[in-house]
Chain A
Amino acid sequence: MSAALATRGLDKSFGSLVVARGIEFSLPHGARYALIGPNGAGKTTLINLITGMLRPDSGEILLGGEPITALPPEKRVSRGLVRTFQINTLFPHLTPLEAVTLAVCEREGVARTWWRRVSAYSGALDEAHGILSSLMLDADCYRPTRELPYGRQRLLEIALALATRPKVLLLDEPAAGVPRDESAELFAAIGNLSRDITVLFIEHDMNLVFRFASRIIVMVGGRVLREGSPDEIAADPRVREVYLGKSHARHG
């Protein structure tokens, strides 16, 4: 069986600044991968390349074995490759119910319909409400997004992604800016995601990484330094040197 998501030799540079060099990895179906690395390692750039927000200079991206390198971002989404954003990228004046319903309607292809009311689409509304409930956002689903506490907005990021029925979900620092106790809660929600969804997440908190990732990819300077199980990564001297060592030193 082919991998859920794979890249082959992805290169990208901005002028003389190389942000991705020969990136190759492969996510099996249902896997939970963490993508770690120091700031500026090219983690978000890699997500932008995979989702089509940036065009690679060379290399190939395969979704379920099919090349998607030439597809625009929205086509990749409709094939099941979906991301969330490190900085909240939401609809401030829409309520969570409206926002998630929007995503469901886009997926169902009814978003072009202008002659019927949204309220006529009970199925879409119920599905949206169900997604919000599964992330414990149902109590807030009629409040404008901008009024929600920050942690709830992070959950809504994930709710929006789920509404597209992703096969592969790329989470860019889902707990960025969330206090430590709340971030565990957020990751619990991520841990509860269906095993049909393959997940790759970027995260800086090593406790969360070791708890929720089955495998870890370490990036440094636009390259993949190492890929392995949490134990292998923890034991790797090179990783300790460039990443864990420094970060431990910083925190200590």
Chain B
Amino acid sequence: MSVTAVASPHAYMQAQARWTWIEVAFWLATFLPFWLFPDYLVLASQIAITALFALSLDLILGYAGIVSLGHAAFFGLGAYTAGLVAKHGWGEPVSGLMLGAAVAGLVGYAASLIVSRFRHLALIMITLGMGLLLTELANSLHWLTGGTDGLQGVKMWPIFNKFRFDLYGYTAYSYSLIVLFLCFLVARRIINSPFGLSLRGIRENPLRMPALGASSRSHLRKIYTISAVMAGTAGALLAQTTETVSLEVLGFQRSADVLVILILGGAGRLYGGLIGAIIFMVARDQFSGNTPQFWYFWIGALLVAVVMFLPNGILGGLAKLSSAWRSKA
């Protein structure tokens, strides 16, 4: 504290955006599964995908205060787009990924025209409604999506004609991790930018923003579209790495899960969604063996406990602990 108290405004802002050693350690640790858990690379790749999805939600929920119960809509759009182009003869992963992201982004922009006008309960209902709407649409378009049978026959080409998707998930995890990291860099840059500062302003006090001459709605439209692009990217990754798309990618369950993941990890901290995804996915993998649905009992208990005792999620609790530790020392 005493160090920042004398810092110049410029140095202070620079320090805010600087990479900390914990962050560097976190990203180095993402390589560990290659050596420590080579049998779990498929799971690791799913975690990276879920983490990217949670990161996309964090951008709107944690930074702009947009609550969404239908974020899987964009995940699903990305998944179906990537799956469909691969099924119909274009199995090139990187362009498929970009196409999935673009379609999700386009629909996200259209949705943002509505979403940016509402707050609170109305917002939850609208996003929920849009999610349900898209699920049923995909269900009824059986000829296109395969309906409840899922999209079959997705065949991916090797990445850059070189890295074949293998059974052990080696390529899948490498690919997902790289995409996650690139998107994370973008998200990190956004939150440290003037735009990110305005988003935090909207989250902190939407009433004050117009009184400062800010057009909150255009900011909200922009971040919602960016978030949809990232969610679509995550969905496309899932379709490409699993070579199948089921209706579940659009479903309410996925929207609810990602919200739980973000709240558990801590919203508005970039890493909250990543930590939450690791905990959630590993716990599901470990507990869901015999009774697939019962493990939600434990997730429910954990969620209640975290919200009661760590209102800012696990990362928020850790941050509080470490600052208490530092002020003591």
1/0 per residue, CB under 8 A from B, across A120-152: the answer is: 011011101100000000010110000000000
Contacts of A83-138 to chain B: CB distance below 8 A: 83, 85, 89-94, 97-99, 101-103, 105-107, 110-119, 121-122, 124-126, 128-129
CB-CB nearest in chain B for A166:
B213
Q: Contact check, B222 vs A97: say whether CB atoms are below 8 A apart.
A: no
Chain B residue, CB-CB nearest to A163: B212
Contact yes or no, B13 A111, CB < 8 A: no
Q: Which of A74, A101, A116, A126 contacts B214 (CB 8 A)?
A: A74
Closest to B205 in A: A91
| In the assembled complex, A78 has its CB within 8 A of some CB on chain B | yes
The answer to whether B4 has its CB under 8 Å from any CB of chain A is yes
CA A118 to CA B226, docked complex, whole Å: 19
Query: Which one of B32-40, B145-153, B190-198 is at the interface?
Result: B190-198
- Chain B 1-44 per-residue mask, 1 if CB under 8 angstroms from chain A, else 0: 00011011110111011000000000000000000000000000
Whether A111 touches B9, Cβ cut-off 8 Å, given contacts A51-B211, A106-B214, A160-B208, is: no
Is A245 part of the binding interface, using a Cβ–Cβ cutoff of 8 Å?
no
| Contact, CB under 8 Å: B212 / A116 | no
Contact A117 B211 (CB under 8 A): no
Cross-interface CB contact of A74 among B5, B14, B195, B213, cutoff 8 Å: B213
Contact present for A111 and B195 (CB under 8 Å): yes
When distances are taken between beta carbons in the complex, the residues of chain A under 8 Å from B226 are: 114
Write the nearest CB–CB distance from B119 to chain A, whole angstroms.
16
Within 8 Å of chain A (Cβ to Cβ): is B87?
no
Interface: A77 (CB within 8 A): yes
Say whether B200 contacts A93, CB under 8 Å: yes
Contacts of B197 in A (CB 8 A): 94, 98, 101-102, 105, 111, 118
A194 CA to B43 CA in the complex, in Å? 63
Instruction: Look across to chain B and name the residue whose beta carbon is closest to the beta carbon of A91.
Output: B204
Which residues of chain B are within 8 angstroms of A89 by Cβ–Cβ distance? 205, 207-208, 211
Any chain B CB within 8 A of the CB of A65? no
**Option from B9, B198, B207, B213 in Cβ contact (under 8 Å) with A129:** B9
Chain A residues contacting B13 (CB-CB under 8 Å) are 97, 101, 117-119, 125
Q: Are A119 and B195 in contact (CB under 8 A)?
A: no
Within 8 A of A (CB), among B279-319: none
Q: Complex Cα distance A97/B9, Å?
A: 8
Which of A115, A119, A142 is the most central at the interface, judged by chain B CB atoms within 10 Å of its CB? A119
Tell me the bound Cα distance from A183 to B12 in angstroms: 31
B contacts, CB < 8 Å to A: 4-5, 7-10, 12-14, 16-17, 189-190, 192-198, 200-201, 204-205, 207-215, 218-219, 222, 226
**Hey, which bits of chain A sit against chain B, CB under 8 A?**
51, 72-75, 77-78, 82-83, 85, 89-94, 97-99, 101-103, 105-107, 110-119, 121-122, 124-126, 128-129, 139, 141-142, 160-161, 163-164
